Structure 1
Amino acid sequence: MFRHSMRTLLVSLCALTAASQAATAVVLAVPADQARTTSTPARALRTQTLSDLAAAMKGEAYANASYSLFAVQADGRTWSSGGKLVINKAGQAVGALFRSTAQTELNEHLREAAALAGTVGTNAANLRQSINGESYEHQVMYRGFAEQARKDGDLKAADLFTEIAADEGRHRNAYRTALTVLTTGRGAIPAPPMAKTVPVPAGLPKVKAARTKANLDTAMHGEALANAKYLLYAAHARQTGNAALARLFEGTAGVELHEHFAGEAVLAGLVRTTKTNLRTAITGERGEVSTVYPGFAKRATAVGDSAAARYFRNTAADEATHAAAFQQALNQLR
């Protein structure tokens, strides 16, 4: 019975993964004309629609980052007492499902929302947006989070927040230099930073205060979004012939995801057992299907933002498919 259920799981998930990978084969293009920004379509949308698109981007970026970590946990490679590597094939199938879904969230859902919202502008505009974001995180957000964590006795979190605040200051300075090079034609764009990849094993939260947990959640959403936006900015830089700027954005994106987000995920206890991770994913996807995206679509329809409303409806349908795939995987693992 157990062997039969494993075969069923593998066959089912392979089919689901193949379908999902086919769906993500087409990556939506972001306008690449450096001579103009994408502010015109952004202004055409109502303020609430833009706000909902921003929320959608943050949620999709967070799902991409989380599912990528869940995939590593699901792979389930362990060493036997005899010193042999044991590969959990059922777990690898679930890992493949998490990875393909993560790519859909990033390469389809987030990119389409970014195109509708006019997120990507000229290289100079993208740098200015990045400088503003990094300045806020360096000067205000992470310093405030560190102070609160220290007061609450969560010293590991305080140290991490302080370290990330310093990193964001360096990112801001690199972007400032790049902007000067871009606007004056003098100097060289800084070399990209190198990410120190932080492993994220399954485990419980390493912090105790509710405030610290909430701040970690805010920080992880911010880092996931920064990673996604910098990848979009990097793609635009390459399309406009600025490979050095693209490398700077890509390197910084890697730090935000593999170092900052991962370090925060360890303290937050984001990754648990594969079954728990599947339940978490199912809950999130169903919430988007039943509440989040229908609400966004209703508001966009009411003010005549039909393209955005269509995007919200289509994304909700995709998330229903994701929820069903995750539920099927969970059922087979029981």
Structure 2
Amino acid sequence: MSRHSIRRLLVGLCTLTAASQAVTAVALAVPADKHRAAYSAAQALSPQTLSDLTTAMKGEGFAYASYNLYGAQADREGQPAVGKLFRTTAQTELNEHLHEAATLAGAVGTDAANLRQAINGETYEHQVMYRGFADQARKDGDLEAAKLFSEIAADEGRHRDAYRTALMVVTTGRGTVPAPPKAGMVPVSAGLPKVKAARTKANLATAMHGEGFAHASYMLFAAHAEQNGNPALARLFEGTAGVELHEHFAEEAVLAGLVGTTKDNLSKSVTGEHNEATNLYPGFAERAAAVGDTAAATYFRDTADDEAKHAAAFQQALNQMP
């Protein structure tokens, strides 16, 4: 399948307004049989290719969230052209790269399947991941991180419970889908890390990748629910996506010192995009091609080309910085 063919499957999936960074789901223009076809195609992929597609989606979700924060920092520093570059690139990472990988992986199913997937993810984060991260941060003396991880674990438990209720409504036709949570906007300015332990820093990186992926996934699920005539479920997914991005990811970014000066942010972005263009995605493409997953191999190669262009654009912006 060509890159253009993949994109045709994605027409109308989900559009996010970059200027306001609003979290808004729109109705999918993809009929249900397309989702079934994508799901069936995904079942034929090798486990390694599916794993690589998931890694790609987590990376692209993280890039989307990070580049929007970098764009805001550039605006604060009086560099609107760089801010626009970051936001434009963020949209490509989400609305092209991540969504194309999601289509290949059959990541969007029925409303019930999407809810079950969300419940499993939220349960793991509530019961295992964030509680474990909190315990480790406490032992390492990173008490602020331990507090944040514990708070997010509680949030994820509430998200799980809301999704469980929604699943009962979807499967039985009885009851009411819970109201969506309201996300607070956590500001993230340039700053140094507020944690000291290498383990805490690594856990924050893992958590941010998970939150970026959850945000993107829930927006896709919201768009599917809207198309299926379930606006209440769409609003629940949207609202939860907003919490994952604007609260959880942002709070973790503050502790991790994710945002630096615009020069630093550009330099980090060049390094990251260059690695994806020359190492990560070519490796994924080689593995996919070796097992006959030709559509995935094409996606990985094309995405590598895009990331090389991003690296070059960021490098040019960096060279022009005073």
The TM-score, its normalising length taken from structure 1, stands at 0.87
Could you say which residue in structure 1 is the equivalent of 2:194? Answer: 206
Residues 100, 260 of structure 1: CA spacing in aligned structure 2 closer, same or farther, 3 A cutoff? same
User: What does 1:227-306 correspond to in 2, within 5 Å?
Assistant: 227-306=215-294
Residues 194, 317 of structure 1: CA spacing in aligned structure 2 closer, same or farther, 3 A cutoff? same
Once the two structures are aligned, what percentage of the paired residues are identical?
71
SS in 1 for 2:43: helix
Could you say which residue in structure 2 is the equivalent of 1:83? Answer: none
Could you say which residue in structure 2 is the equivalent of 1:62? Answer: 62
Could you say which residue in structure 2 is the equivalent of 1:312? Answer: 300
Letter matched to residue 60 of structure 1: E
Q: Work out the CA distance in 1 between the residues paired with 2:180 and 2:307.
A: 35
CA contact (8 A) 1:71 1:99 kept: yes
Residues 195, 304 of structure 1: CA spacing in aligned structure 2 closer, same or farther, 3 A cutoff? same
CA contact (8 A) 1:57 1:114 kept: yes
CA distances 1:168-204 after superposition (whole Å, capped 9, x unpaired): 0000000000000001111110010001111011000
- For the pair shown, the structure with the greater C-alpha radius of gyration is 1
Q: Work out the CA distance in 1 between the residues paired with 2:46 and 2:197.
A: 38
Could you say which residue in structure 2 is the equivalent of 1:170? Answer: 158
Please say if 1:179 is aligned against 2:167: yes
Give the deviation of 1:333 after TM superposition: 0.3
Give the deviation of 1:35 after TM superposition: 10
SS in 2 for 1:131: helix
Task: Supply the RMSD in Å over aligned alpha carbons.
Answer: 1.7
Please say if 1:113 is aligned against 2:101: yes
Could you say which residue in structure 2 is the equivalent of 1:42? Answer: 42
Give the deviation of 1:41 after TM superposition: 1.2
Q: Which runs of 5+ in 2 are unaligned?
A: 1-6, 14-29
CA contact (8 A) 2:10 2:103 kept: no
Please say if 1:100 is aligned against 2:88: yes
Q: How many residues align?
A: 299
Letter matched to residue 53 of structure 1: L
Q: Work out the CA distance in 2 between the residues paired with 1:120 and 1:253.
A: 15
The TM-score, its normalising length taken from structure 2, stands at 0.90
Give the deviation of 1:135 after TM superposition: 0.2
Residues 302, 173 of structure 1: CA spacing in aligned structure 2 closer, same or farther, 3 A cutoff? same
Give the deviation of 1:314 after TM superposition: 0.6
Q: Work out the CA distance in 2 between the residues paired with 1:32 and 1:177.
A: 26
Letter matched to residue 186 of structure 1: R
Name whichever of 37-46 and 293-302 sits farther off.
37-46
CA contact (8 A) 1:32 1:240 kept: no
CA distances 1:7-34 after superposition (whole Å, capped 9, x unpaired): xxxxxxxxxxxxxxxxx9x964555418
Give the deviation of 1:243 after TM superposition: 0.6
Q: Work out the CA distance in 1 between the residues paired with 2:299 and 2:162.
A: 35
